[in-house]
Amino acid sequence: MTPELWTENLKPGEHWSGVLRRGTSLRITALQARANVAAMMYNYESLPERYNLADTLKAQHTAFLTAGCVCYSDMGRILCSITADSCGWHDTLCGLSDAAMVAEKFGAGSFQQRRNEFYKNGRDSMLNELGKYGLGKRDLIANINFFSRVTADADGALHFDEHHCRAGDHVELRFEMHTLLVLSTCPHPLDPQPHYGPAPVTLRAWVSGAASDTDPCRLHCEENQRGFRNTEMMFLP
Amino acid sequence: MNARSPNTAPLREPAWIRDQIVPAGEPWIGTLAAGELLRIVDLEGNQAVDTLFYNVRDPEERYSAVDTIRAQGNIYLTTGSALRSNLGATMLTIVEDTCGRHDTLGGACSAESNTVRYALDKRHMHSCRDNFLLALAHYDGRLNKRDLPSNINFFMNVPVTPEGGLEFADGISAAGRYVQLRAHMDVLVLISNCPQLNNPCNAYNPTPIQILIRAAG
């Protein structure tokens, strides 16, 4: 876990963005139960290359993410690998909350009333951060919701697991390319909790190095071996 | 097939104002005015029709798979499904569906994803994302790769298990089955009639489709 690079604490509902270089790992830790961390990822060297939901799911024959999985870009390359995970399931299907949904569920929660604890929503939080890099509505990709578990039954109906994320749960991401990471800690859009109650999280980054030849994410499936090969081609001398 | 005899059709429907065959593996781009109906016919069965929609007046508003899934609480599309935008608006609704279920998780094939999914030497094969990119490049120059979010795959079958598994399965469509949509805003329709030869999404045999458009009856 050394050398450690930095630690940041995200308050409930806070949005955040930053660049994680290849060979850097990030641990996201839920400080309370029922956390949700929405995430979007872009190749920092070429922002049109970004996380792709379908390519990630198809390559690994899964509808959710956990340790051993990688997050694919739309160019057949890997943005990051999930190297550790205490909760076993991260949602990929349900997107973000928006202003109308938050107002309907929780009522008005303006800055004037609540100061910096005003009610935030996932979509506007992402647009806030994306705008700092010249990105906007065109770049609202299908996001990951770390720490949330939503299953689909045989008819395709969705079911949100209210007891999935516990305080202290964590997930570790090892970045395989220089990545712009955009986060929002707003509640999951399907979380039925009747009051606005996002959870705080911490971020801790350290130098981990790139994936070894026997890395479990690389060996997870043949598809990932080809994905790592495509990614490493970008970083040859 | 445009004219209907009053003896066989009790209610006379408006004629199709557009009736076009899209050959296997080719893109199609066109507009649909608010209120118009779009019918896509799977002429020979088990064809995947990769489709995206944009708001003509503000193309930064476009189809969003995750907003659609979240709003209807279900991962499959069929009659009654409201197709939502990245801003939460209903762009179109599915008003008829003789297939029964359509996918919006499987995305569109690309040269790059083919190298990951199948083999490095599959890069040369034709793909939906190449169709999308070329159709957008020739259209009006406003849209490009940033404008390719997760799409709909009409007639494609990608079941998700309660345990979270995901596979491309044999199609549940058949020759002549169709899906019909009503536009709630003026939309740009971008289609790739999928050329994929490496998985059963097209029964390994891409075939033509028919695109029909008419005013609401």
Cα separation values, A91 from A150, A158, A159, B55, Å: 6, 11, 11, 28
Q: Cα dist. A75→A47, A237, B109 in Å?
A: 12, 20, 11
Which tokens is B115 given?
A: 């190298």
Look up the domain containing B178 and give its range.
18-160+167-214
Tokens standing for B173?
């469509």
Rounded average pLDDT over B170-195? 96
Among B65, B92, B97, B104, which Cα is nearest to B79's? B97
Answer whether residue A51 shows pLDDT above 90: yes
pLDDT at B1 over 70: no
Q: List A residues 171-190 in contact with B (Cβ-Cβ < 8 A).
A: 189-190
Q: Which of A74, A90, A97 to probe by mutation at the B interface, max B CB count within 10 Å? A: A74
Residue type, position A130, single letter: L
pLDDT of residue B101: 95
Whether B60 has a pLDDT exceeding 50, the answer reads yes
Write down the pTM of the prediction.
0.95
What's the rounded Cα separation, in Å, for the pair A172 and A174?
7
Is residue B149 within 8 angstroms of chain A, CB to CB?
A: yes
Q: How many domains does chain B have?
A: 1
B14 preceded by a cis bond (ω within 30 of 0): no
Confidence label for A2 from pLDDT (cuts 50, 70 and 90): low
- Within chain A, strands assigned E span 4-10, 15-20, 24-30, 37-43, 70-72, 78-85, 144-146, 150-152, 158-160, 170-175, 179-184, 201-207
The two structure tokens encoding residue A134: 């010249």
Residue B114 has pLDDT above 50, yes or no: yes
B97 within domain boundaries: yes
Mean pLDDT over each residue of chain B, to the nearest integer: 93
> In terms of Cα–Cα distance, which of A77, A53, A24 is closest to A145?
A53
- In this complex, how many residue pairs, one in chain A and one in chain B, have their CB atoms less than 8 Å apart? 138
Beta-strand runs (E) in B37-108: 37-42, 49-55, 82-84, 90-97
Q: Would you tell me how many other CB atoms lie within 10 Å of the CB of residue A229?
A: 16
pLDDT, tens digit, for every residue of A56-105? Answer: 999 999 999 999 999 999 999 999 999 999 999 999 999 999 999 999 99
- pLDDT tens for residues B116-152? 999 999 999 999 999 999 999 999 989 999 999 999 9
Across chain A, what does the average pLDDT equal? 97
Helix ranges (DSSP H) in chain A: 53-60, 99-106, 111-114, 122-130, 222-232
- Supply φ then ψ for residue A104, to 5 degrees: -70, -40
Q: CA B211 to CA B77: how far, in whole Å?
A: 19
Q: What's residue A165's pLDDT?
A: 98
Per-residue pLDDT tens over the stretch A150-173: 999 999 999 999 999 999 999 999
How far apart CA A69 and CA A59 sit, in angstroms, is 10
Chain B 104-123, residues with CB within 8 Å of chain A CB atoms? 105-108, 110-117, 119-120
pLDDT for B6 beyond 50: no
Quote the CA–CA distance of B196 and B202 in Å, as a whole number. 7
pLDDT the model gives residue B13: 74
Query: Which of B62, B107, B117 shows the shortest C-beta gap to A52?
Result: B107
Q: Which residues contact A59 (CB under 8 A, 6 or more apart)?
A: A72, A221, A223, A224, A227, B113, B116, B117
Q: Give domain status of residue B5, yes or no.
A: no
